[in-house]
Every structure is written in C-alpha cells, then in structure tokens.
Amino acid sequence: MNMAVKVTKFGGSSLASAEQILKMKQIVEADEARKFVVPSAPGKRFKDDVKVTDLLYSLHDAAAHFEETDGIYGQIVRRYTDIRDELGLSIKIEEYLEKMYRDIKTGANEDYAASRGEYLNGLLIADLLGYDFIDAADVIFFDETGSYDAKKTLSVLPGALKLHERAVIPGFYGSLPNGRIKTFSRGGSDITGSIVSRAANADLYENWTDVSGFMMADPRIVENPRKIDVVTYRELRELAYMGATVLHEDSIFPVLEAAIPINVKNTNDPENSGTMIIPAIEGRDGARDGITGIAGKKNFTVITIEKDGMNTEIGFGRKVLTCLEKFGLSFEHMPSSIDTISIVVADIRIRHCIEELIDEIHAVCQPDSVEVSSNMAIIATVGRGMIRQVGVSAKLFAALAQSHVNVRMIDQGSSEINIIVGVENDDFEKAVQAIYSALV
C-alpha cells in the first residue's frame, strides 16, 4: 500500500530563529508522511524586526545604486550564522553567502537576490532534518513572459521528487527559460508549496504559519476573531486576494484540479486543527448562517465617471477600459449604475499617471464629470451562503452607519459571494470592526 504523502510549507514566522526552526523539526518528525518541506526565508522574530527577504531587496537596491552595502550584508550574514550556530550545524553557510554577495555586487538581478532568502534557509533546514536539498531553480519554471509554466514544471518536478525519499525544496522562486532566477510575488512560497503538493500527488498540503488557521477577520484588527474551520477554495481566494495574507491568493490554482485539501496550521500550537481549505462543501452551501469572513486592503484610488445616458451608449465601458489599457493599468473592481461607472485601482499603480489618465478619459469618453478619490480602503465581506440570506447587507450598512463610517463605494460582486465597500483609509479598522461585530 502507498504511504500517505504530506507537503509541509513553513512561513517566515515559523522559521525566524533557531528556536522556531526546532519547532518545525518536531512537527516534521512527528509524522512519517511529511516527506517534502517547503521553507520560506527567516521572517520577523519580533514586531519591529526585518524579514530577511526585505533585507535582500535593500541589499540589491543599495548595490544597484553603488551605495554602501556591507552593513545590510552583515545583518543577513548574522541571521544565517546565528541560526546555524544555535542549531549546532556545521554547514559552511558563509561560502554560500559570499557567493551571493559577489553575484549581487556584479549585477545579479533583483529576483536572484530575493530568492537567496529561501535558498539559504533551505540549505540549513535540509542539513538539520537530514533531507535531500532540491534547488527550486531546477524544478520550477516560468515562461518567457515571466508567468509560471505549469506544463514544463509538471514534466520535470514529479520525476525529480520520485528520486528523493525526503527533500527540502525552497519556496518563492524558480527559473526562466534563459536560466535566470524568477520569484513569485510576495508571499509566494505558498504557491511553491501548492506546486510541490500537486507534483507529489500529495494527500494533504499543510501550510504552517503563526496563527491557528484562517480567522473571520485579521487578528491585528479584530481582537480574538473566530476561526474558520472549513472554507472553500473560492472563498479563500476572495479573502486572500482582498487582504487576508495568511495564504497567497494564487495558492489554490496548482492544487485545484487534483482537489488536494490545504490545512493552515499553527507552528506554535500544532495540536490546533487549524483551517481546512477544500474544493466545495457538498450539501452545505447556504446551510451556514452568516458570513465566512471579512478582509480588506488600504490605498486605492476610485475614479467615478458620470455621463447621462451612459446605459444606452454602446461601447462606453470599452472606451473607459481602452484608456486604462493605454497606461498599462489593470483594475481591481468596476462597480456601475445607470449613469456612473467607478474604477478601483491600487494607488501605487496609478499615482504616476493619474493626471494624464483623467485627460485621456475626458478626451475619449466625453463624460459629464470625473471624480477621483485616493486613499481609499476596500473591504470585502465574503460568504458562500450570503446570497440566500436576507438582511446581510442591511445589517452591514446599518453597522457602518452606527460607527459613523462614510461608505464611499458599494459593489455587490457578481460572483454573489461577496459585498465590497469602499471607505476612507482612516476608517478602515473601524469599519472592519463594525462589520465583524454586526455579522459574526
């Protein structure tokens, strides 16, 4: 009989120090099935600490601008040598660090620099566990456009995993067709864990972090939020995309087809069952009272375009989108009513071209007015049962009104599993707390 296989991804918070890494070791060794380990780079040890990935971005930036680099490099060296020494390992991590430093100083790309956080941690962890080390650059691939290449990866990775009884595969990066290193977006070790789970045909993908699963709201905003025991891939994707950073929003794609469940667990409380993320909940959709969760993000710009008779003007939406396309902008949401259409774009993407974009919209769409509000936050209230439940929106808006939160935008998503509201950045925390108290 084939033995069960579990892939375990440990986040930066779970590997920030030797003490945390020893907890990881205990967890991995407690279950024979935990054959493949995907580590992140060491994260924050305390509130104001700096993640190694952020140090690496700073190091690359300083080197690229010919600024002083020895200080940052020294901090990175200390993070790894401290871990190595406290774990009593003899691996010569300095040699790998020195090579990295040379490469960065001689023009290695930013992704290469960022990826070394996971690479170096992977070497230490493989040594500690006595597992083989597989460099993600040899088994995880991106195409020429920089998108993840599932076909190529799945033609190489399953075979590579079969050659190893137990292995460590660092998270966050792979390689481009020209051999250069490419990373996923921030938090992307979660995606590596999912890819390895698919390739290993795992029975379970365990994602170990510093919270006991997905909570109904961000624990940094709502005190002691309720845990979500079971959540569907789709709800998870909505919540993750909207700001619940526990799991990267793209982590579900690699395991989707194979329907491999994801279990979010707490390295500091391994007995807690955490949250199970599964394809669908048969026969229970709609049976759940209330909502699944609340998530949100700050720093968006909302452009509201008004034009009488917009609803009958053929091609109006296309014209607006052409303007965005001209500036290479994607949008997050686009709620509309009879004579208005709003476009929500992240501040950081639009800041440099907002004035030119508005001029373009005036020229191309001939609107009656265009209003721009920046420093907006968007909050999504998500739940698969919400659509069949009367009164959720009424309660939500009453709660916001009672807390004196000015609602600047409403978008009842057509996916019908979320209601999105736009509020000012300053009202963000208050709004999340108000929605949580009213609906949970």
User: Whole-number minimum distance, CB 163 to ligand ADP, in Å?
Assistant: 28
Least Cα distance to 14 among 197, 199, 171, 153 occurs for: 171
Cβ-Cβ contacts under 8 Å for 90 (sequence gap 6 or more): none
The reply on whether position 244 binds ligand ADP by CB under 6 A is yes
Size of the site for ligand ADP (CB under 6 A): 20
**275 assigned ligand-binding residue:** no
- Compute the 3-state secondary structure of the chain and give helix, strand, coil in percent, each to the nearest 5: 40, 20, 35
Q: Judge residue 163's burial from the number of C-beta atoms within 10 Å of its C-beta, 0-12 exposed, 13-18 middle, 19 or more buried.
A: exposed
Quick one: which segment of 38-46, 293-301, 321-329, 404-412 binds ligand PHD (CB under 6 A)? 38-46
Rounded to whole angstroms, how far apart are CA atoms 293 and 365?
38
**135 assigned ligand-binding residue:** no
Which residue number has the CB closest to ligand ADP?
11
Rounded to whole angstroms, how far apart are CA atoms 352 and 30?
52
Rounded to whole angstroms, how far apart are CA atoms 382 and 247?
16
The reply on whether position 254 binds ligand PHD by CB under 6 A is no
Beta-bridged to residue 148, according to DSSP, are 142
Report the Cα–Cα distance between both ends of the chain, in Å, rounded: 45
Token pair belonging to 104: 């960065």
User: Whole-number minimum distance, CB 11 to ligand PHD, in Å?
Assistant: 4
Instruction: Find the binder of ligand ADP among 178, 220, 223, 289 (CB under 6 A).
Output: 220
Size of the site for ligand PHD (CB under 6 A): 15
Instruction: Find the binder of ligand ADP among 219, 286, 290, 413 (CB under 6 A).
Output: 219
The reply on whether position 422 binds ligand PHD by CB under 6 A is no
Q: Which of residues 181-240 bind ligand PHD (CB under 6 A)?
A: 186-190
**340 assigned ligand-binding residue:** no
**397 assigned ligand-binding residue:** no
- Phi, psi angles (nearest 5°) of residue 318: -60, -40
Beta-bridged to residue 302, according to DSSP, are 344, 373
**10 assigned ligand-binding residue:** yes
User: Whole-number minimum distance, CB 8 to ligand PHD, in Å?
Assistant: 12
**9 assigned ligand-binding residue:** yes
Shorter beta-carbon distance to ligand PHD: residue 55 or 399: 55
Per the CB < 8 A criterion, the answer to whether 354 and 345 are in contact is no
The reply on whether position 254 binds ligand ADP by CB under 6 A is no
Q: Can you list the alpha helix ranges (DSSP code H) found in 2-109? A: 18-29, 52-64, 70-86, 93-105
The reply on whether position 301 binds ligand PHD by CB under 6 A is no
Q: Where are the beta strands (DSSP E) in 184-278?
A: 204-209, 230-232, 262-266, 275-278
174 binds, among ligand ADP, ligand PHD, none (CB under 5 to 8 A by kind): none
Alpha-carbon distances of 168 from 42, 140, 176, 182, 264, rounded to whole Å: 15, 14, 21, 19, 19
The reply on whether position 51 binds ligand PHD by CB under 6 A is yes
**36 assigned ligand-binding residue:** no
Q: Can you list the alpha helix ranges (DSSP code H) found in 49-202? A: 52-64, 70-86, 93-105, 110-129, 150-162, 189-199
117 binds, among ligand PHD, ligand ADP, none (CB under 5 to 8 A by kind): ligand PHD
User: Whole-number minimum distance, CB 354 to ligand ADP, in Å?
Assistant: 29
CA angle 415, 265, 223 (to 5 degrees): 75
CA angle 66, 68, 72 (to 5 degrees): 120
210 binds, among ligand ADP, ligand PHD, none (CB under 5 to 8 A by kind): ligand ADP
Cβ-Cβ contacts under 8 Å for 69 (sequence gap 6 or more): 59, 62, 63, 101, 104, 105
42 binds, among ligand PHD, ligand ADP, none (CB under 5 to 8 A by kind): none
Site string for ligand PHD, 112-141 (x = CB under 6 A): -----x------------------------
User: Whole-number minimum distance, CB 82 to ligand ADP, in Å?
Assistant: 19
Name the binding residues: 9-12, 53, 118, 209-210, 220
Name the binding residues for ATP: 9-12, 209-210, 220
Residue numbers at the binding site for ligand ADP (CB under 6 A): 11-14, 40, 43, 187, 209-211, 214-215, 217-220, 244-246, 293
Residue numbers at the binding site for ligand PHD (CB under 6 A): 11-12, 40-41, 43, 51, 53, 117, 171-172, 186-190
